[in-house]
Amino acid sequence: MVGVKRVAGLLSLVLVLTAGGLWANEAPENRKRNPKLLSMTPMGGHPGSSLEFRLRGEDLEGIRSVWLDCDRLTAKVTAVKEIELEKARFSKKTYSPGQEVWIQVDIAEDAAAGAHSLRLLTEWGLSGPVTLVVSDGKAAREQPGPHHDPDSAPMLELPANLNGRIGRNGEVDFYAFEVLENQELQFEVLVAGGILSGSPIHLRDPELILYQSSQGWFQGEARRLETRVESTIFLLPKEGGILRPRLRHRFGKPGRYLVAVGSLAQKGGPGHNYQLRIAPVGSSPRQGQDHWTRYRPAHDAPLLDWRERGFGREIHPGRRQQLRSRAFAEPDGNPATTPVGEGTDQPDRSSAGPGDQTAPLARYPSLVESEPDETPDSASAISLPVMLEGRIDAPGDLDHFRFSVQAGQRVAFEIQTVDRMFPELSPWLEVLDASGKAVCSNIYRNVENNSAYWQRFLQSKTIFTFEEAGDYILRLRDLTSRRGGNGFTYRVLVRPQVPHIGEVSLAGGDPINLVPGEARTLKLTLEREEGLDQMVTLHLENLPPGVQVLPTVVPEQESGNPRRTRNEVHPDRFFPRKQEVSLTLLAEGDTPGRLRPHPVRLVARVVAEGRPGQPFPLKDLFLTVVDPVIPKTVSQIAAGD
């Protein structure tokens, strides 16, 4: 992706109340187009391949070119046609005009494996992204023709890596394969949803089942096999979870077997893509992951892809610097204040102070858990802050750690599952006082259905203020007490709370398309973490010539309250305070460089006692100034810029 250069004279705007939309009452024929990609088939390909993809979307009139996130993937539009898009709300179906676009994508031999972003540039600007997955091995494509029952199942050659699609509601895809005696295989179904922020999500609940094929006459239907299930749920920050089914099985008898892929909700259609992977156990060369695939963005941008929560996010000793960079810092880059608990002298900490503004901030120290630590009496002594690296060695294993705090000390606990994803490993954290009573945990509770029942959820982060000084016990275990072993590893960061800016989301997502002479209001939600109560300013860096932020005068707003449901128990320990923010942009009528997506960067500063802190980036966005003339035909295809 194109880098963003920082420029002097930042255009900034203090946080303000969100304004309403500007085009809410426009007539349909005069409405502003909003290019949107809804789906793409297939899910992806492998390095060195050339594939045809079918995209469906809205407001794609006047396509100019295909935009990809790196030059190792190239694409061109081959055909466009108008279609009717079927939409359903509850049991009612409606239809709206849309477009179907065919593109040819060439994937270079040295293309990075992982999720790539693909967009379309139209006369009305840039569309949002869809996810194109480049596999790390050769990938086959589902062959045309029905294979929705055991008799029509095509034969797969192992190991298999196949891109398929659940084309309609209720569809189940069957595939056959041959195994040797006592051969152990692993099966997994992967979907692209959730890998890249802002891309559409369709198949949330893929289903994976193994069958033993019937043999000869009068043997009945194929028999379902009992397998070792290692399925996980990939949790998203706001969109819920996505199931990732995973099975392992040792086949006692050689012969022909079947694997079926479907949807638990019996849903299907355009965009319901999947990738079926079958391989011998232990055949994967990935370090630390001997059998399962973990898709990631092909081009990581950890600084601009901040994730405050989620068991799968990476927590490492350098998180101290990450947190402090999102808090108030002097323009020279050093923190201006010391959070509670970080002022004591320990060898691992930076000694930077008023007389030393150049020393780097030290990393959090690490400690590897060691047995025996099954009871509070055998707990390992730790000093805060600390990064704990441990393992649930066997079902029911308990790990204990002993630490001391001062009265009023504010502590944060962050948890990561390393090799096994949640909920296969469901880490349950508790803090016990000297009497053995639990004073806090990572279980969030609330009442649902008119107080009919309690709901409980494990959270990957919790904060707590200790009212009394003394010794406490930190206890870790798996919630189910039924799983454990070599791969059930975790990390727990125990640290002082650092008031900082958390996640910042943009309503409607990226990109930003501006019509000259018209205003565009960007609606953002900013999360204030761990008691951040200072003023925050937002900046847009690298705006193109002719684009400006409109001045706005609105009374200041405090940090706001988190969204709460009835009868929540300590929601402030698990969720941030949220504040709605707006930025209004205007493109002048003679703005140059139209129809060329321009990379801009959203940047924040924390202001304390009237002094602005060090700016830090939040998001990279595309801004396009578009031609206000609505295209007359959908078939316009021009060469890319």
pLDDT at 17: 26
Gap between the Cα atoms of 605 and 290, Å rounded:
43
- Residue 287 CA, chain-centre distance (Å), reads 22
Neighbouring CB atoms inside 10 A of 238's CB total: 8
Neighbouring CB atoms inside 10 A of 252's CB total: 9
pLDDT single digits (tens) 607-638: 888 788 888 888 888 999 887 665 444 444 44
pLDDT single digits (tens) 483-535: 888 889 999 999 999 999 998 888 877 888 888 888 888 888 889 999 998 88
Percent of the chain with pLDDT over 70: 79
- Average pLDDT of the residues in 354-382: 76
Angle (CA) 409-413-416 rounded to 5° is 165
pLDDT at 357: 34
Domain 11-21+501-625: assigned CATH number: 2.60.40.10
DSSP letter at 334 equals S
- pLDDT, the chain, mean: 81
- Residue of higher predicted confidence among 29 and 457: 457
Gap between the Cα atoms of 63 and 43, Å rounded:
22
Angle (CA) 77-80-86 rounded to 5° is 125
**pLDDT at 283 > cutoff 90:** no
pLDDT at 87: 76
* DSSP string covering 373-428: -SSGGGPEE--SSEEEEEE--STT--EEEEEEE-TT-EEEEEEEE-SS-TTTS-EE
Lowest mean pLDDT among 17-21, 75-79, 214-218, 423-427: 17-21
- Tell the residue number behind the tokens 């070599």, with chain if given: 486
Q: How far is CA 551 from CA 512, 544, 547, in A?
A: 19, 18, 13
pLDDT at 9: 34
Residues facing residue 273 across a β-bridge? 165
Gap between the Cα atoms of 26 and 490, Å rounded:
53
pLDDT single digits (tens) 181-194: 999 999 999 999 88
Dihedral sign for Cα atoms in the order 338, 538, 504, 316: negative
Strands 598-608 and 489-496: unpaired
The SS3 of residue 512 is strand
- Average pLDDT of the residues in 469-495: 92
Domain 33-133: assigned CATH number: 2.60.40.10
**pLDDT at 375 > cutoff 80:** yes
Gap between the Cα atoms of 559 and 537, Å rounded:
13
Gap between the Cα atoms of 589 and 586, Å rounded:
9
**pLDDT at 174 > cutoff 90:** yes
Highest mean pLDDT among 16-30, 66-80, 283-297, 316-330 belongs to: 66-80
CA nearest 596: which of 123, 5, 3, 51? Answer: 123
CA nearest 195: which of 131, 118, 240, 263? Answer: 131
Give 140-280's CATH code, choosing from 2.60.120.380, 3.90.226.10, 1.10.3720.10, 3.40.50.2300: 2.60.120.380
Highest mean pLDDT among 219-228, 251-260, 451-460, 584-593 belongs to: 251-260
Cβ neighbors of 404 (< 8 A, separation 6 or more) are 469, 470, 471, 472
- Residue 234 CA, chain-centre distance (Å), reads 9
Q: Which two tokens stand for residue 116?
A: 């790539």
Angle (CA) 588-594-598 rounded to 5° is 95
Residues facing residue 607 across a β-bridge? 535, 612
- Note whether 284 and 216 are within 8 A (CB): no
pLDDT single digits (tens) 410-438: 999 999 998 887 888 899 999 999 999 99
> Domain residues of the chain, as ranges?
11-21+501-625, 33-133, 140-280, 329-337+361-498
Q: Which two tokens stand for residue 1?
A: 């992706």
**pLDDT at 577 > cutoff 70:** yes
Cβ neighbors of 380 (< 8 A, separation 6 or more) are 367, 369, 370, 373, 400, 401, 402
- Average pLDDT of the residues in 109-127: 93
pLDDT at 565: 52
- Average pLDDT of the residues in 263-279: 94
Neighbouring CB atoms inside 10 A of 224's CB total: 12
Gap between the Cα atoms of 107 and 515, Å rounded:
34
Residue 595: band (very low, low, confident or very high) from pLDDT cuts 50, 70, 90:
confident
pLDDT single digits (tens) 230-267: 888 877 766 678 889 999 999 999 999 999 999 999 99
**pLDDT at 28 > cutoff 60:** no
Residue 449: band (very low, low, confident or very high) from pLDDT cuts 50, 70, 90:
low
* DSSP string covering 120-178: EEETTEEPPPEEEEEPSS--EEPPSS---SGGGPPBPPSSEEEEEE--STT--EEEEEE
Percent of the chain with pLDDT over 90: 44
Gap between the Cα atoms of 74 and 108, Å rounded:
8
Cβ neighbors of 303 (< 8 A, separation 6 or more) are 617
> How would you write 570-615 as a 3-class SS string?
CHHHCCCEEEEEEEEEEECCCCCCCCCCEEEEEEEEEEECCEECCC
- Average pLDDT of the residues in 545-550: 84
Residue 557: band (very low, low, confident or very high) from pLDDT cuts 50, 70, 90:
very low
- Residue of higher predicted confidence among 116 and 143: 116
CA nearest 205: which of 272, 146, 142? Answer: 272
- Residue 525, H or E segment: strand 519-529
- Residue of higher predicted confidence among 134 and 322: 134
Gap between the Cα atoms of 568 and 576, Å rounded:
14
Residue 563: band (very low, low, confident or very high) from pLDDT cuts 50, 70, 90:
low
- Residue 448 CA, chain-centre distance (Å), reads 27
pLDDT at 451: 62
**pLDDT at 284 > cutoff 80:** no
* DSSP string covering 447-486: EETTTTEEEEEE-SEEEEE-SS-EEEEEEEEESSSS--ST
Gap between the Cα atoms of 62 and 74, Å rounded:
20
pLDDT at 43: 94
Residue 313: band (very low, low, confident or very high) from pLDDT cuts 50, 70, 90:
confident
Fold match between domain 11-21+501-625 and domain 140-280: no
Cβ neighbors of 18 (< 8 A, separation 6 or more) are 521, 523, 580, 581, 582
Q: Could you please state the CATH topology (level 3) that the domain comprising 329-337+361-498 is classified under.
A: Jelly Rolls (2.60.120)
